[in-house]
Structure 1
Amino acid sequence: MPLFNAFGFTDEQKLMRQSLLALAEQHLPVEKIRQLDRDAGWPTEAYQALAKGGWLGLPYPEEYGGLGGSYKDMAILLETLSYHYACLGTTYMTSAIYAGLQLLYNGSEHLKQTYMVPMIKGDIYIAFALTEPQTGSDAASIKTNAVRDGDDYVIRGQKWFITSAHVADYIVLVVKTDPSAKPAHDGFSMFLVDAKAKGVSIRPIETMGRHTTHTNQIFFDEVRVPARNLIGEQNRGWKILMRGLNLERMAIAACGAGNAQKAIDIARDYATQRIQFDRPISKFQVISHKLADMRIKAEIARLVTYRTAEMMDAGYDTRMETAIAKVVATDNDFECAHIGMQVMGGAGFSMEHDMQRLFRDSRLGPIGGGSNEIQRNIIAKLMGL
């Protein structure tokens, strides 16, 4: 059992974590994870098990078949899934959080009943597409556009680094509907697009890590989308996008906290079993201090994540706190994997052990979801600097 404790959890939250960990271990055993990482596979069985257990509905109201969970519940779920396998947490939050909650918060009743409810049941998967080849950190400069044509919009453009788009049935797509808007983000809109529609083509991007939920580029060539698939109001997409991105940072922090704890467990188990100079290497202070440093970093990641989630549940403006949590948790996650590699030496560098995968997977954290440099810009601006 991992070292992270359950202080401050309700009995229901403690049971939730135990149930999720048991589900993940049953439907995604270690050998299956290694196979998916090698083959760039997707955890279909585990995802469907989450759907069958009702977990995809955790953040959704009961009236739509959800569980009405809190932000702290979401943090517990994502930390637990990512402790088992980082990409399992990402698989969950891409559809159920990034994309699906845009439909809940801003979609019409038609979109909710036709797409969101089936998503909660696990019948469809929805990806989220914002980033473009020339617009990563500078999201306001996107070029993909939609033009009204009768009862449809016609979409042209390209998206880049889109997680799990290769398995998506639909895509929540951020586009520009008013290219002359000043400032530029006043011309943004969101649409739900059929990933199999004519003119949509999806190509994988080969990356260092995150092979299971690998990223993709998407091309939109004269793609026709019904006007009823507009999410929210035309040209008001930026404001509703910001609410989603704020939640995304907390979610990424929770995933980082879980992955960091897994790195500790792997390194600790290795260090207590590896014998050098007639004793386990964990008995050498230089190694035990590295493990202690990992524990400190993982615990700090957890503390800042749960504090932020509790503030969100209390209705606070958490723009600064989510940015801080994202920076701290993802930086600490990578540092834990980095230290863990050093503790294990050549074994950590070997593909026969899992530490190299955690190292590769954790490196995305400080880059994706708004780089940690951008998060620091947000923090500085909110400080009045």
Structure 2
Amino acid sequence: MNMKTLVNTTGLSEDQTMIREAVLEILQGTLPREEIRRLDDTKEYPLAAYQALADSGFLGLFFEEQYGGAGASYKDLTSFMETLGYHYAGLGQAVMITTIYAGGHVSKFGSDELKARIIPGIIDGSIKMSLAMSEPGTGSDVAGLKTKAVKTDGGYVLNGTKVWISGAHVADYIVVIARTDASASRHEGLTTFLVDTKSAGVTINPLSMLGRRTTHANEVVLEDVFVPEANRIGEEGKTWKNLMKCLAMERLGLAAISAGNCYRIVEDAAEYATQRVQFDQPISSFQVIQHKLVDMWIMAEQARQATYRVAEILDAGEHAIEETSIAKIIATENNFKVADIGLQVYGGSGYAMEYDMQMYFRDSRVGPIGGGTNEIQRNVLAKRMGL
């Protein structure tokens, strides 16, 4: 069984189908199963596969042609991110951290000079980035962040601590959200900065996390860090509105990675079930196992359909506010449910570290937490309902 037998590619363009096939070919050569297991165990960044994608031009999908990008459609990007999630969700997260989470702020709100300086490096893989919003005392309350940026000659001086910052340990630059006006209301006075990780006063402390070990979270401490005026992203004090404009692509990316990962889990569980013999027959012949696998497939398809629906709406020029939150909820929660059922299908083997199912289980659990918790997504939807 393989992805083609489960995923109906009807509705995808020839280019989108080619993206899927080309990416899988690259990753099968640069990031085989045994290498994924090794990287997960040693908590190493998937550098070879990441660079292979860059060398093949795939990181350019996210950016405008004038900066060397491909100016891809949302549906193109969904096909790409779904494929990454299918092969290895950690690599999907690695790509998303630089290109969407952090790079999106540069491409949408950076000056022409900043875009020309940073985006080509993102595309060719020489610049990796991270986004630093969350703080020890804020979490989902982004508007309550305490990191300060004080204006000085030629720039700003930043002080504060960020936490749960994925990918910061390999980042060349970190996009930092800081407060430039302490007297402003909660949603005002926030400004975005591009911080060079080699700057004096920047300390990055890796954290040991349950899953997504290859792009693990970090604590980022900023002590009197000078950021030049040219590295401010967007207008001073206008970050909140800009953050809201970035959410659609962020949530679409999260949903696409989770949807693709669902299919990988279903296929692995189905393959295992056909090989695992109990009572003189493969367990896939038992209806109870068949129904579990079918339920997993249904949830994978639900995640996929919700995700591509968002891409189609965005490509039509609409905002898809409700649809992005719905897709993020469905895809990430289904991802964990599928992994949970898959582990049950594996039985004791699913609990053993030499099988991938335990990694899927660990990695999928962060989905409902990261990128705006699913409780926050439900709050958004409640407001849209007028509640």
Q: Is this a same-fold pair by TM over 0.5?
A: yes
Q: Which residue of 2 aligns with 1:220?
A: 222
Are 2:358 and 1:370 equivalent residues in the alignment? no
Structure 2 distance, partners of 1:156, 1:319, is 33
Q: Which residue of 1 aligns with 2:13?
A: 10
Q: Deviations over 1:100-154 (max 9, x none)?
A: 1211111001111111221111111111111111111111100001010111200
- Write the distance in 1 (CA, Å) between the matches of 2:374 and 2:211: 18
**Quick one: which amino acid aligns to residue 273 of structure 1?**
Q
Indicate the SS of the match to 2:163. Answer: strand
- Aligned partner letter, 2:252: M
- Tell me the alpha carbon deviations over residues 196-228 of structure 1, each in whole angstroms, 9 at most, x when there is no partner: 110000001111111001010100000000011
The equivalent residue for 1:195 is 197
Aligned residues: 384
CA distance in 1, matches of 2:351, 2:47: 29
Q: Secondary structure at the match of 1:9?
A: coil
- Which residue in the other structure is 1:354 paired with? 356
Query: d(CA) in 2 for partners of 1:85 and 1:19?
Result: 15
Whole-angstrom CA distance in 2 between matches of 1:119 and 1:287: 45
**TM-score relative to the length of structure 1:** 0.99
The match for 1:160 is 163
Indicate yes or no: 2:127 matched with 1:127: no
What CA distance in whole angstroms lies between the structure 2 residues aligned with 1:104 and 1:254?
21
Q: Distance in 1 between matches of 2:169 and 2:112?
A: 27
Map of 1:336 onto structure 2: 338
Does residue 36 of structure 1 match 2:39? yes
Post-superposition shift, 1:244? 1.3
- Rounded Cα–Cα distance in structure 1 between residues aligned with 2:200 and 2:385: 47
The residue number in structure 2 matching 1:55 is 58
Matched with 2:213 is: 211
Q: In structure 1, which of residues 276, 279, 282 is the aligned counterpart of residue 278 of structure 2? A: 276
Q: Name the residue aligned to 1:21.
A: 24
What residue in structure 1 maps to residue 241 of structure 2? Answer: 239
For the residues of structure 1 that align with 2:116 and 2:235, how far apart are their CA atoms?
18
What residue in structure 1 maps to residue 90 of structure 2?
Answer: 87
Q: Equivalent residue for 1:260?
A: 262
Matched, 1:146 2:152: no
Q: Secondary structure at the match of 1:93?
A: helix
What is the CA–CA distance in structure 2 between the aligned matches of 1:70 and 1:177, rounded to whole Å?
35
Which residue identity lines up with residue 72 of structure 2 in the other structure? G
Q: Distance in 2 between matches of 1:341 and 1:268?
A: 12
Instruction: Indicate yes or no: 2:312 matched with 1:310.
Output: yes
The DSSP-based 3-state class of the residue aligned with 1:91 is: helix
Cα distance, 1:97 vs. partner? Answer: 1.1
Give how far 1:319 is off.
1.3
Pairwise CA distance, 1:322: 0.5
Secondary structure in structure 2 of the residue aligned to 1:345:
helix
TM-superposed deviation, 1:277: 1.0
Rounded to whole Å, the distance in 1 between the matches of 2:75 and 2:248 is 15
Q: Secondary structure at the match of 1:162?
A: coil
- In the TM superposition, what is the alpha-carbon distance from 1:246 to its structure 2 partner? 2.5
TM-score by length of 2: 0.98
Mean Cα deviation higher: 239-248 or 203-212:
239-248
Aligned partner of 1:178 in structure 2 is 181
Counterpart of 2:119? 116
Name the SS for the 1:212 alignment partner: helix
Question: 1:26-59 CA deviation, whole Å, 9 max, x = no partner?
Answer: 1101111000000000111001101100111102
Secondary structure class of the residue paired with 1:163: coil
Which residue identity is paired with 1:35? R
Q: SS where residue 367 of structure 1 aligns?
A: coil
Report deviation, 1:380.
Answer: 0.4
Amino acid at match of 2:21: Q
Report runs of 4+ in structure 1 exceeding 6 Å deviation. none
CA–CA separation in structure 1 for the residues paired with 2:245 and 2:257: 19
**How far did 1:264 drift?**
0.3
Name the CA distance, whole Å, in 2 between partners of 1:60 and 1:151.
29
1:53 and 1:181 map into 2 onto residues whose CA distance is 46
How much has 1:320 moved relative to structure 2? 0.9
| Residue identity opposite 1:310 in structure 2 | E
Instruction: State how far apart, in whole Å, the 1-side matches of 2:10 and 2:192 are.
Output: 40
Distance 2:117 2:65 in 1: 16
What SS does structure 2 have at the residue aligned with 1:186?
coil
- Equivalent-residue separation in structure 1 for 2:295 and 2:263 (angstroms): 12
